[in-house]
Structure 1
Amino acid sequence: ASQPAMLQSLGRKLFLPHRKSGSELLSRYYAADQELVRVAQQIKRLDADKQQDRVSELIGELKECQQRVMKLMLELMNELIPDRRHPKDFRMKFPDEVVQEGLEGQLWYASECLAAGSSILYREVEAESIRPLAIQVTREGEKTRRLLRDEASRSYFGAEPRANRRLLDQLALFDRILAEFELSYVSAMVPVKTMTEMDQLQEVAVLFSETAAWALAGGHIRRDDIDECEPTLMIVLPRLAVLHGLLVHPDGPLSTKDRPASKLCPLFRAFHSHLDRVRSFLGKLKQPDMDRLVRRLCLTESGDATDAEADVDADADRVAGLFKVIAGVADQIQSNYAWELRYLLRCVYNLHCSEAVDEAAASAAAATATLAVEEGLDAFDWQVTDSVQSASTLMATAAATGAEASAVEPPAWVPDSASDVCTNRRCGQAFTITRRRHHCRACGGLFCSACTRARRALPVLGFDSPVRLCDACCVSAAAVNENNGDRA
């Protein structure tokens, strides 16, 4: 029994520290953890009073090491216990600036500071309340690190980490405690929404979604505006949502009938009296005036919610008065509730962009992506080719042979996670919240909106109405459609 232990110790000391370039998660974790231990030991040997600059430099290095170690720990959790990860739905209640990459590493450092006796400036009471949980995070984190180091040594000699029940249980425990500390710590540092506020915000999100569907059907906004995240939607959509909520949903989130201001969603609470007056006047508008009001709300001129009574009571131009109040309410939401508005618009984009509309068809195609074996061909006689070229060849071949549209299946879409940049070689721009991913309906590739502006019908692939195409497939589709026209 002593010989295997000696071999494991030898492997730990001689081999594992030199495997930083290894592909195995555990070996990478071991190297990162050893680096963290080295930096921590250097800090302990320094005199904080005499070497403040060096200590500050090493603390910054320590945070970077903790970030790397925590990132690998999370990857190991996803690899070893994917079904036991603690849910983090509570992050919906956090402001956008809180939920960022590396949050867990920052929480780890904060827990160590609290466990060591530090406090949170101006939040001493909150710091004392979460200190026991911080101590628990630190203690369980050390246990997890120790077990992972030991498992890295064992896996070097062929041991399977999934068979180590103790390690798996410890990873699940640490994940749960870290999530509990995250909720407590963030709640102490920034305002976090209550469940009631989140429910109210969800109701407003439903209203925004229904408003977008109504505006798309009525031609007030275009699908391309949503696909390309047009900035004007930040102005137009909240205005239309106020109008739609007062007209179509008398008992919805904007209802002021028999409802005090305290029961309204915080976004509209300050405008209770304005909404009540606007609702009463909207019922008196004739359809031509209503159409004029909708058209004005789709413009980007500003309104004013402070002169509600004077403007709405003016019989000379009731439409102008209603526009001014509705636009003023919506514009105040944009100014005072920026995070909530981003959340609402994100819900609309996710539900109503072209990608979401075609998601069912795309997911079905991706889930059933198999080799299409044609009659008379060997099932193993296939090769991977460039997706754009294969799509062009597919359309040209189908058009040349006169194949029916139903006989040719469009290619499966490339997953969103496959690329962070536009795959057009002439572009290559990184995807952002404003430069979003779009799929070409012909080749299934990932492109930015600028590289997929073309719209053409593809009957040969089953698309009778114009669909989004990349530049290369647009040229091929034009040639195919021209050939089909000549043949006809």
Structure 2
Amino acid sequence: MLPAALRRWLRRPKRSDPRLLSQFFFADERVTQVVAEINGLDAELDPQQYLVLLNQLHLSQAHLLAILERIMEECIPTQRHSRDYLVKFPEELLVDNLGNHMLFAAECLLAGTFLEVEEADGAQLRPQARNLLCSLELVRTVLREQSLSQPGSYPEPVRAVLVQFDRLFAEFELSYVSSLVAVKSPEEIYRQQEIIVLFCETVERALRLGYLTQEMIDGYEPLLMFTIPRLAIISGLLIYPEGPLSLEQSPEQMSRVFSPFYNLLKKIRDLLRVLSAEELCLLERSLCTAESEDPCGPATPSAWGAAMPRADPLAPWGLLEVPRATPPPPTSMARLGPPGVADDLGTDRQWGPQPPGSSSGLDATPVARCWELRSRYSSTKDMLHTLFVCISGVADQLQTNFASDLRSILKTVFKIVASQAEPLEEPSGSPAPHRLPEWVPDSTCSQCSACRSPFTLLRRRHHCRSCGKIFCARCSPHTAALPHYGQPKPVRVCTHCYTAHLSPRRARSQ
């Protein structure tokens, strides 16, 4: 009978074995090796080497966790614990190495170090951290044994420990993050989705009226980070008043993104309602500029009476559009719109407020209110400038106070309204583009795929655009065009791909 250690050595999988359990074996072996080196090192005598080993431990643990994630996707895809709670997290926490950070936090909690959490929260999290780390050790033991016996199968005991680890990991992740930051409630998530809808409708309207172009959307123009929220405030207050910016609800019922500006939004809405169509169009166009420009151009007169165009000619650019399903009552000054939408067909009603004594059919009370609001300002330019400053101030404050929420909202909006990439039409007889190579994540590779040199602060990672693997600079010094991957210009490739597939000498021989 052979000794157990010798049997294990004889059963070791090959490094070239592509099966996940075989890859897990060597990743786990690397973690164990780095931990042993750290334990045998005196950090005070050699602090630089200690930092190097800590970096290697971080990379090796991230690589191990990435392989474990792939194993769970292959072994228990339908039994994974729900990760729907991730939508509650701030966007800046949703990074690739979040799982590795969770394990590091669990180790610190178990050692009595609470990191960023309060001591009371740390005491409550410590049992969960202990269960998670014990489950991880059990998973490592079971998967190591399985990789030495049958690396191509997942028996029921393996599935059971993976299901338990996945559940404990998800529970600890939610509890730990909730102790650090304020996670969103289901109501807040729903309100944020309503804001996304409002922003999408705003962009659609702005494209239709010529305020924005599709090229700006597809190019992710930085100016849109300011323009879209500004235009959305007008849309939410005038065009879609029943949406997330409805001021008929209390501030507590609004999204936390806009609720701090509740009173200011009311004043903005009241002023927007007394604008003529041309004034509104001028205001919106000024809000689309990068800087605070003077919103009162030559076309805007300085006197109130001259700033009220009649409805006889069609208003330029379509101006303000109101849904046909909800026409305003005849006595309301709350809506503006082109003839036939906000007003009955065939009427000769004027846009905006009417001067006292006019025979427009409107009640005196709304008209008097409109004139009272306009009389507070010395000119059209003064009122439009006030609106410009207030709307820009609210929208720009969103970038400061709710940067994470606004970034997440705009990211979703761009995904929805951006043009869909159309497949390139290849000339007849030319081959179709090949499928892009699988891009190896940085966190799963701690050493060069060719020379096996460990990556450090000086030895950086470089992806080969031909095979997708990670190499050091010495092993990927070449550049070549990859037209079959849609790369007509020279890009970085590794030495193997260059010599075996891409070198001009080999291309001529083929």
Bucket of the pairwise TM-score, normalised by the shorter protein: 0.5 to 0.7
Report what 1:348 is aligned to: 413
- Greater RCO (Cα-Cα under 8 Å, separation 6 or more): 2
2:263 to 273, 283, 292: 273
Q: Deviation digits for residues 380-435 of structure 1, max 9, x if unmatched?
A: xxxxxxxx7x812269xxxxxxxxxxxxxx979967978999x999xxxxxxxxxx
Question: How far did residue 8 of structure 1 move?
Answer: 8.4
Q: CA RMSD in A?
A: 3.7
Report what 2:76 is aligned to: 81
Tell me the amino acid that sits aligned with residue 219 of structure 2.
Answer: E
Change (3 A) 1:29 1:310: farther
1-side partners of 2:413 and 2:238: how far apart? 20
Once the two structures are superposed, the pairs formed by residues 1-40 of structure 1 within 5 Å of their partners are 10=6, 12-14=8-10, 16=12, 19-40=14-35
Q: Are 2:38 and 2:50, in contact at CA under 8 Å, matched by a contact in 1?
A: yes
Change (3 A) 1:138 1:58: same
Question: How far did residue 350 of structure 1 move?
Answer: 0.8
Q: Deviation digits for residues 436-477 of structure 1, max 9, x if unmatched?
A: xxxxxxx997579xxxxxxxxxxxxxxxxxxxxxxxxxxxxx
Question: How far did residue 247 of structure 1 move?
Answer: 0.8
Report what 2:186 is aligned to: 195
Q: Are 2:433 and 2:485, in contact at CA under 8 Å, matched by a contact in 1?
A: no
> Does residue 393 in structure 1 map to residue 428 in structure 2?
yes
Q: Are 2:117 and 2:180, in contact at CA under 8 Å, matched by a contact in 1?
A: no
Question: How far did residue 142 of structure 1 move?
Answer: 0.7
1:300 to 285, 290, 308: 290
1:220 to 207, 211, 220: 211
> Does residue 41 in structure 1 map to residue 39 in structure 2?
no
1-side partners of 2:42 and 2:197: how far apart? 58
Q: Which moved more, 1:71-80 or 1:84-93?
A: 84-93
Aligned-pair identity (%): 33
1:335 to 400, 419, 422: 400
1-side partners of 2:375 and 2:440: how far apart? 52
1-side partners of 2:174 and 2:68: how far apart? 19
Q: Are 2:117 and 2:179, in contact at CA under 8 Å, matched by a contact in 1?
A: no
Moved over 4 A (4+): 6-11, 45-57, 309-312, 410-421, 443-448
Question: How far did residue 9 of structure 1 move?
Answer: 6.0
Q: Are 2:11 and 2:148, in contact at CA under 8 Å, matched by a contact in 1?
A: no
Once the two structures are superposed, the pairs formed by residues 85-124 of structure 1 within 5 Å of their partners are 85-121=80-116, 123-124=118-119
1-side partners of 2:202 and 2:440: how far apart? 32
Report what 1:229 is aligned to: 220
Report what 2:127 is aligned to: 132
Q: Deviation digits for residues 139-186 of structure 1, max 9, x if unmatched?
A: 110111111001101125xxx423x01111211221121111111112
> Does residue 314 in structure 1 map to residue 309 in structure 2?
no
Question: How far did residue 315 of structure 1 move?
Answer: 4.8
Q: Are 2:105 and 2:115, in contact at CA under 8 Å, matched by a contact in 1?
A: no
Question: How far did residue 134 of structure 1 move?
Answer: 0.3
Structure 1 runs not aligned, ≥5 long = 363-387, 396-409, 426-442, 449-488
1:264 to 254, 260, 267: 254
3-state SS of paired residue (1:355) = coil
Change (3 A) 1:319 1:53: closer
2-side partners of 1:413 and 1:61: how far apart? 35
2-side partners of 1:291 and 1:117: how far apart? 61
Question: How far did residue 31 of structure 1 move?
Answer: 0.9
Q: Which moved more, 1:138-147 or 1:311-320?
A: 311-320
Once the two structures are superposed, the pairs formed by residues 367-382 of structure 1 within 5 Å of their partners are none
Change (3 A) 1:124 1:419: closer
Change (3 A) 1:218 1:273: same
Change (3 A) 1:350 1:446: farther
1-side partners of 2:377 and 2:432: how far apart? 59
Question: How far did residue 327 of structure 1 move?
Answer: 1.6
> Does residue 238 in structure 1 map to residue 229 in structure 2?
yes
Once the two structures are superposed, the pairs formed by residues 435-450 of structure 1 within 5 Å of their partners are none
1-side partners of 2:374 and 2:27: how far apart? 66
Change (3 A) 1:209 1:60: same
Tell me the amino acid that sits aligned with residue 152 of structure 1.
Answer: S
3-state SS of paired residue (1:393) = coil
Tell me the amino acid that sits aligned with residue 316 of structure 1.
Answer: S
3-state SS of paired residue (1:192) = coil
Q: Deviation digits for residues 308-360 of structure 1, max 9, x if unmatched?
A: x999942512333222211221111122221111111111111011128x7xx
Tell me the amino acid that sits aligned with residue 148 of structure 1.
Answer: L
Q: Are 1:303 and 1:323, in contact at CA under 8 Å, matched by a contact in 2?
A: no
Report what 1:438 is aligned to: none
Question: How far did residue 217 of structure 1 move?
Answer: 2.1
1-side partners of 2:162 and 2:5: how far apart? 23
Change (3 A) 1:338 1:233: same
Change (3 A) 1:311 1:321: farther
> Does residue 326 in structure 1 map to residue 322 in structure 2?
no
Tell me the amino acid that sits aligned with residue 225 of structure 1.
Answer: M
Change (3 A) 1:145 1:334: same
Q: Deviation digits for residues 203-227 of structure 1, max 9, x if unmatched?
A: 1111111111221222221111111
Q: Are 2:90 and 2:183, in contact at CA under 8 Å, matched by a contact in 1?
A: yes
Question: How far did residue 130 of structure 1 move?
Answer: 0.8
Normalised TM-score (structure 1): 0.68
Report what 1:161 is aligned to: 153
Once the two structures are superposed, the pairs formed by residues 423-442 of structure 1 within 5 Å of their partners are none
Q: Are 1:16 and 1:31, in contact at CA under 8 Å, matched by a contact in 2?
A: no
1:171 to 128, 138, 162: 162
Q: Deviation digits for residues 6-56 of structure 1, max 9, x if unmatched?
A: 698645324527x33432221111111112122223344456677766555
Q: Deviation digits for residues 84-111 of structure 1, max 9, x if unmatched?
A: 2222222222223322122212211221
Q: Are 1:8 and 1:154, in contact at CA under 8 Å, matched by a contact in 2?
A: no
Q: Which moved more, 1:340-349 or 1:62-71?
A: 62-71
Tell me the amino acid that sits aligned with residue 278 of structure 1.
Answer: I
Question: How far did residue 70 of structure 1 move?
Answer: 0.9
> Does residue 141 in structure 1 map to residue 136 in structure 2?
yes
1:251 to 239, 242, 253: 242
Normalised TM-score (structure 2): 0.65
More helix by share: 1
Tell me the amino acid that sits aligned with residue 236 of structure 1.
Answer: T
